[in-house]
Amino acid sequence: MKKFTLTILITSSVLSLSAQNTWFKFVPGWRGNNCYILADTIYSFCPTSKFDKSIVLGLNINKNSLLDGEFYSSDSLFYYSDQIDELTNLQYRTKNNSIRLNNNYFLFAANYGDSVGSETKWQSDVFLYPSFEKLELPINYDTFPTLVEGLFLINYKKYALVNWYKKFDKLNTVQSSRLLKINVDNTTSLIYTRLNPLYSQSNHDIQLENIHADNQNPANLFLQILDRWDFAGDANQFEGVIQKIDTTGKLIWESRPVGDQDTINTTDFKMVQLPNGNILCSWLDLYYRPWKKPGDPYHLAESKDNATFWFAEIDYQTGKKLWTKNNRQFLNWKMGITDKDVAANLMTDALIFDDGAVWCGYRYINRPYPQNWTAIPYLFKTGFDGKPIWYREYNLWSTDTTDKGFKPYSFIRTPDNGFLLTGEYMRRWGVPSDTTQPMGVFQTAALLKLDSNGCFTPGCNATDNIIKIKVPENICQIYPNPAHTFLQIDYPTGSSGWEIIITDINGKEVFQTKETIHQISTKHLPNGIYYIQLTNKKFYHHETHKIIIQH
């Protein structure tokens, strides 16, 4: 195998730079999968391509300034196959395909087509950066096509998540999963394996999607799994599954958080571990299972019009579900949902912090022609109990008719407690009306830096509004404002069933009741800005009032 490396220098444009260090940058590559921060430099891993007889895929590792996003340089790897005697496609598939080692070295896995004939046989290799040295690791499975879906560094141990493919006939190829431990002598040990049967209505297809450390016991791991069954071409039923295993692969417990929601398929299932060891997981109820759609049952999976996020907490010791809830009312209000918008968000990543969890992804909104569907990135912060704290959307070029949006695939926390999102930006062909966009490019890797409040525009947390939000009209009155000793609430005549939540400016809940009370004492609340959320499930109505307490 011959290695071809290339270093390129380009100039990039800053969309916004402020004292709070927020910016948006285009970087070389057609999408960004993930990034790291070393000192004051960002290293982003971005699939790329070039023309050599035909278009071939490769990998860029870009370096940018953390301060303002200024582009420094890019190292590129393209793969030469001795088998086919030419450059071949090199796939860096997911946000999990690299890990950071000591002394500013990275280990990353990539997949390449290495075959002669009409069908590509995918194989995998592991490389060391910055040298691009290929390591001789036995990660390919026998002679089967093999794809590495992730590398993980957990408690100083390295793991590889590998999928391999068995072809039964011209129409049926089945994917199976393996979890390997990478030993210090560059051998591998099999920790977990799943051999899937041929797709059918009754057979279950188990896909290993991610692995997580156990913050309570370094001898354990958590497996994030997608279980699919009831195939009619595609799977009609699927759900997220969590398995707790020890590092030898022994199963401790299995949890299916969707539980009693057996009418729903779980889309974009994600999980984080809380400080007490319990698991907080989330999913989107985007599809009904066959025959389960109310009023319109059908024998295949059907989409759900009012889909939203669900959250559940799983007990660390037993794997039992403790509670389930959704945030439909809060999110619909925050998104300013219209009939032309998609209420459902697609979730791509999740992180846990000292004061809550942050969930990252994007949703589609429908703009006038010629834009039509446009991807809008978001961050959504919840407490450990799944209650919403804040939701932010980033509508970067809302008036540009060529803009198709930014899709983040991963995010990390920055040293200033801000957030850095890595993903891909897309636009229609044509000259952009906003000249900060790259000319002649319709798909490119990009980085979005936000401040510690999740704001692109500094100060967005002052009222916790988001750009372009459509706030429902308030139908209740709250006075006096400023309040000294009490607040009076007037509801619409004859209405009942109101729930009240009061939060401070940081999103901390200071009062909550499910009773329709008309007066609240404020004597115990310190001076400051507060928000009163009034919700009535009978009317499907939610409104928020900003008040000031001043004794």
- In a domain? residue 518: yes
Task: Provide the pLDDT for residue 435.
Answer: 53
What mean pLDDT do residues 502-525 have?
86
Residue 483 DSSP class: B
For residue range 363-376, list pLDDT tens digits in order: 888 777 766 788 99
Model pTM score: 0.78
The answer, yes or no, to whether residue 19 has pLDDT greater than 50, is: no
CATH of the domain at 483: 2.60.40.10
Q: What percent of the chain has pLDDT over 90?
A: 48
- In a domain? residue 414: no
Give dist(CA 176, CA 247) in Å, integer: 20
- A 10 A CB-CB count for 65 gives 14
In degrees, rounded to 5, the angle at the alpha carbon of residue 331 between the alpha carbons of residues 340 and 524 is 150
For residue range 238-257, list pLDDT tens digits in order: 999 999 999 999 999 999 99
Contacts of 133 (CB under 8 A, 6+ apart): 127
Indicate left, alpha or beta for 117 from its phi (over 0: left) and psi (-120 to 50: alpha). Answer: left
Give dist(CA 195, CA 71) in Å, integer: 45
What mean pLDDT do residues 265-289 have?
93
Contacts of 246 (CB under 8 A, 6+ apart): 219, 220, 221, 252
- In a domain? residue 520: yes
Residue 368: which of 426, 308, 428 has the closest Cα? 428
470 burial class (0-12, 13-18, 19+ CB within 10 angstroms)? exposed
Report the amino acid identity of residue 181. K
The answer, yes or no, to whether residue 327 has pLDDT greater than 90, is: no
| Whether the Cβ atoms of residue 71 and residue 11 lie closer than 8 Å to each other | yes
**For residue 130, cis peptide bond before it (omega within 30 degrees of 0):** yes
Q: Domain limits at 511?
A: 477-549
Say how far residue 110 (Cα) sits from the centre of its chain: 21
The answer, yes or no, to whether residue 217 has pLDDT greater than 50, is: yes
- In a domain? residue 503: yes
For residue range 20-61, list pLDDT tens digits in order: 689 999 999 999 999 999 999 999 999 998 876 678 889 999
What mean pLDDT do residues 179-198 have?
92
Task: Provide the pLDDT for residue 371.
Answer: 67
Retrieve residue 102's tokens: 């000591």
- A 10 A CB-CB count for 332 gives 17
111-120, 233-242, 298-307, 423-432: range with lowest mean pLDDT:
111-120
- In a domain? residue 60: no
- In a domain? residue 528: yes
Give dist(CA 325, CA 280) in Å, integer: 11
Helix residue ranges per DSSP H, 91-132? none
Mean pLDDT of the chain: 84
- In a domain? residue 526: yes
Give the chain's domain count: 1
The answer, yes or no, to whether residue 2 has pLDDT greater than 50, is: no
Say how far residue 318 (Cα) sits from the centre of its chain: 27
Retrieve residue 274's tokens: 């809380």
Task: Provide the pLDDT for residue 514.
Answer: 87
The answer, yes or no, to whether residue 386 has pLDDT greater than 50, is: yes
- In a domain? residue 270: no
Residues in the chain: 551
Work out whether strand 71-81 and strand 106-113 pair parallel, antiparallel, or are unpaired.
unpaired
The answer, yes or no, to whether residue 17 has pLDDT greater than 70, is: no
123 CB-side CA count, 13 A: 16
What mean pLDDT do residues 485-503 have?
89
